[in-house]
Structure 1
Amino acid sequence: MEFVLGIDKGTSVVKAVVFDEAGAARGQAQRRVGVLSPRPGWHEEDPDQTWDLTAAVIREAIAGAGIEAKDIKGVGISGHMGGAWLIDGEGRPTRNAICWPDERAQPEQMEIERAGKMREIFAISGNGLMPGITAMLLGWLSKHEPQTVAGTRHVLCAKDYLRFRLTGDIGTDPSDVSFVPGDIDARGFSNHVLDLCGASAWIEKLPSIQPSEAIAGTVTRMAAEQTGLAEGTPVVTGLGDACANALGVGALSPGAALTVLGTSCLNSLVTAGPDRAPEGLGFLFSMPGGHYVRILPNTSGTIAFDWFLDRFGAPLTADGKPDFTALAAQAASAPIGSQGVIFIPYVNGSGVLAPFHDAQARGGFFGTGSHTTYDHLLRSVYEGLCFATRDCFDAMTTRPRTLTLTGGGARSPFWAQLFADVLGLPIETVSAEESGAFGVAMLAGVATGVWKDLDEAAGCNRVTARYEPDAQRSADYDDWFGLYQDARDVYRRYSARRAALKTGLEVVV
């Protein structure tokens, strides 16, 4: 039996999963990532601590699989995109890593918008801006931390930093370059976009670009001692998490669609070419095989759900964690439309990127009254995230025939059926629950001969459940969705007024 290892460095959690040649998860482990907020709106990590956590989950996953390290034929790494992981010529971090939810560059982004440069950037990259993307952060650092610019030799993304710690390799892949953002047609960096973002001082510090599926290096002796992997194990370049999730659920061909219920809900459609429609919105990333993935994200995905549970409480399991089965039952007990409550799920400090771009947009509950209960509010959160997902897919030029749902929320039959009813689409879930880790494990397996090609690797996946939309519920939700759209437009106007009244409340200059 042959095995591959997939590492998924998420915003909140780092995971390692050992897969066998049938695609089954044989051992896995995860640890929560420590988030540092030295100032309001900042989102940083200690790179050394994140590496220690990664090494720990690799050791635990191998032990859980009950195999020897030499049985692992290859390693793939997926990581959240954007941000900036900076190292000097000796490989030491020059500052804390900055991750994509970071808001510090919001004033600089607003300046770019006021200067009318957004359309030019989108025309080159196929990507809208947000404060936490790499180019915006590098521009901010040029302005506020010139000493960091001087001391840095290499700019990396999250997965690239972990691969460096495993192999000593300095490089990145076309998917992460897409979110710098780069030149989507050339599948490379764009000096002009970096210049427009005030980041021209960093151009010589950008890494070389290697194919996502290429063997970029092998596990060093030091990394082997730290992780329990065998020295010399091949490691592929890897993928940004959005693309890894698409591979991991088998979305290989144009027209395949998926939604990842993660910190952001990534609503993705695989395309044959660099389709930029709708213009000026969302993301467009390079995929292996010459394809692309068009993404219109809800930047407030499960972060909105976590916010609700943190503020309003939740039934708990015996080990003190939220009881999601009980939560789903409570939400199911409330009627369609949550007794008139609409939740606008714009709680992410970065604002909204799709189906419109508004860095100031914030949300809230609309329609509460003396009759409103916890269960009504809870169901409205489930519904609000479904409405936000439909809002994004409705803005795309191609309507998918089915939608694959992945991420933690996909394990909830109640929520999956709710997605089917709200979107009016069949919803499928697949056996590869850790789709990001499996996506890069597929690359590692193909590179090392475990599988012939990606199609054979994707064949390990199977549909575990299919949820058909109920015609009457879908018709009812059409009306509620219309009210949701009206309410979110009103909240956008409130958000603009709020920003004018509360200048500096959330933005750090």
Structure 2
Amino acid sequence: MKYVIGIDLGTSAVKVLLINQQGEVSGEVSKSYPLLTEKSGYSEQNPEEWVNKTIKALKELIAGFDGSSENIEGISFSGQMHGLVLLDKDHQVLRNAILWNDTRTTKQCQDIYELVGEDRLLTITKNPALEGFTLPKILWVKENEPSIFEKASTFLLPKDYLRYRLTSQIHSEYSDAAGTLLLNVGEKKWSSEICDAVGLDINLCPPLLESHDFVGTITPEIASQTGLSEATKVFAGGADNACGAIGSGILEEGKTLCSIGTSGVVLSYEESNDRDFQGKVHYFNHGKEDAFYTMGVTLAAGYSLSWFKDTFAANEDFDVMLHGLEDVPIGANGLLFTPYIVGERTPYADALIRGSFIGMDASHKRIDFARAVIEGITFSLNESIEIFSESRKNIDSIVSIGGGAKNETWLQIQADIFNAKIQKLSSEQGPGIGAAMLAAYGCGWYSSLKECADIFTQSVKIYEPIEENVKKYKELFSLYKLVYQQTKELNKKLSRFRK
């Protein structure tokens, strides 16, 4: 039996999956690492943590594998998007990585609009200038840490840095590069026009590959540290959302994904790059060659629920905290939550907005608040679905993965709020599965990613929307949308009191 490994480099942990030719998960190891939040709005990580924890995870995975490491043919990657890793001419890391959920770069986003032009930026990159993207981070370092920037020779995205450390090869690939604001998404090349406009040397940008392209084999040092064979092939991999799409079978027109991890996304497959959403949702290159996807983002989806647990149920697991969720009526007994606890992305590109509980009552119990948090996260994701529907995209069936796919009640809430059939897969680890699929396709196991998906992805249950619930949630959704407008100015004034 042959195997591949999918490495999913997330925001809070790296997950390593061993998968056989039947698409079965034969081993799984996860290792967490800290988030560094020096100031409000700052979010960083030490790239060395990614490397050390990945090596430990691979070593543990191989130690528990009862076959020969020679039978593990390939490795590929999924990774958190947008993060900035700056390297000097010797490929040494110059500073901590600045992550996707860092919001310090509001000024730099405005600078990009002034230098490039808002319409021109949308034409080239298909995306607006938002704090989470990579280019604003580069410009922030250039402006605020000039001595560091002067030493910079290249930048990498997080999973590209990890792959470099495993192979000694410097590359990026299109699905991750699309989230930098430096890629011409339609032409699939770094934009010299944008680089010139903002004063960056285009040579700072690494060479580009397709997600399934062969990069090289692992280094002897990595083989020695992990127990893998030196012949193990390494493939480029993709952005976490692109890999989530691959691992969920979102590989043809009409397919839509809801993924609830730290952030939450609603992602829809696109055959071409000619649809115009006017920057309301993201438009990225897919991990599938010459395909695209559109995507709306809730910055703090699963993170909102994790925050709630850590704050109010620190010593309980999620199942205990959510016990009785199904008994709480729709609307959480008159309680609304907006998940803007780190700002918001879609449909409000607002770094200053913050979350709210609206309608708190002395009769509310903790489980009411938990239900309100879950409904609020889902309402936020529904705003992306609303944008897709308004552009005449038909969203009537959605694959759900991530934390939101682990709870039966939450899956039904998604069906009712989205007013769509929700498909639960046999494995909800879409990004890691997608990374493994890229390795399997790269190794030549299958003639296409679609053929691979037919083996690797299986639907195990369908949740149908309940008409009565749909009506109630439509009414609540209209109230939910009022909260942003009525708290926007208040949160802006409160921002000066934050640390």
TM-score, structure 1 as length reference: 0.92
Amino acid at match of 1:186: E
For the pair 1:255 / 2:254, whether they are aligned, the reply is yes
Give the aligned residue type for 1:252: L
Conserved 8 A contact 2:309-2:321: no
Q: What is the correspondence of 1:344-423 to structure 2 with a 5 Å cutoff?
A: 344-348=338-342, 351-396=343-388, 397=391, 398-423=393-418
Q: Tell me, yes or no, if structure 1 residue 104 matches structure 2 residue 108.
A: no
1:334 aligns with 2:328: yes
Indicate the residue corresponding to 1:268 in structure 2: 267
**Residue 112 of structure 1: CA displacement?**
4.8
The corresponding residue for 1:69 is 69
Deviates more, 1:431-440 or 1:24-33: 431-440
Cα deviation, residue 339, structure 1? 1.0
Partner Cα separation in structure 2 for residue 490 and residue 10 of structure 1: 34
| Letter in structure 1 aligned against 2:239 | G
1:88-487 matches, cutoff 5 A: 88-112=88-112, 117-181=117-181, 182-195=183-196, 198=198, 200-287=199-286, 288-313=288-313, 316=316, 322=317, 324-348=318-342, 351-396=343-388, 397=391, 398-460=393-455, 461-487=457-483
Whole-angstrom distance in 2 between the partners of 1:365 and 1:119:
36
Deviation per residue, 1:462-491 (Å, 9 max, x gap): 101111111111111111111111223212
**Structure 1 residues 345, 277: CA separation in 2 closer, same or farther (over 3 Å shift)?**
farther
Distance 1:180 1:195 in 2: 15
The aligned counterpart of 1:60 is 60
Pair 1:158–1:79, CA change in 2 (3 A)? same
TM-score, normalization by structure 2: 0.94
Structure-2 separation of matches of 1:306 and 1:120: 38
**Comparing 277-286 and 172-181, the one that deviates more:** 277-286
Give runs of ≥4 in structure 1 deviating > 6 Å. Answer: none
Match of 2:22 in 1: 22
Once the two structures are superposed, residues 369-390 of structure 1 have per-residue CA deviations (whole angstroms, 9 ceiling, x without a partner) of 2222212211100110111111
Identify if the C-alpha distance between structure 1 residues 120 and 171 changes in structure 2 by more than 3 Å, giving closer, same or farther: same
The offset of 1:61, in angstroms, is: 2.0
SS of equivalent to 1:449 = coil
Percentage of identical aligned residues: 28
Residue 202 of structure 1 and its aligned partner are, at CA, apart by 4.4
Q: CA deviation at 1:408?
A: 2.3
Decide whether the 8 Å contact of 2:88 with 2:154 is kept in 1: yes
| Structure 1 unaligned regions, length at least 5 | 317-321
> How many residues are matched?
493
The offset of 1:274, in angstroms, is 1.5
Q: Over residues 80-106 of structure 1, what are the superposed CA-to-partner deviations in whole Å (9 max), with x where a residue is unaligned?
A: 110111222323212222211122222
State the shift of 1:4 in Å.
0.4
Q: Distance in 1 between matches of 2:92 and 2:412?
A: 48
> Which letter maps to 2:433?
F
For the 8 Å contact 2:400–2:422, the answer to whether it is kept is: yes
2:7 alignment counterpart: 7
Runs of 5+ consecutive residues of structure 2 not aligned to the other structure:
none
Quote the Cα distance in structure 2 between the aligned partners of 1:224 and 1:362. Answer: 46
Measured against aligned partners, the alpha-carbon deviations of 1:341-376 in whole angstroms (never above 9, x if no partner) come to 11011111xx22212322222220111122222122
Shift, 1:281, TM fit: 2.3
**Residue-by-residue CA offset, 1:269-318 (whole Å, 9 max, x unaligned):** 001111554212232111123110100111121111111112222662xx
Conservation of the 8 A alpha-carbon contact between 1:315 and 1:327:
no
Q: Whole-Å Cα distance in 2 between the matches of residues 177 and 147 of structure 1?
A: 25
Following the alignment from structure 2 to structure 1, what is the Cα–Cα distance between the partners of residues 262 and 96?
Answer: 21
Question: Any conservation in 2 of the 1:3–1:21 contact (CA below 8 Å)?
Answer: yes
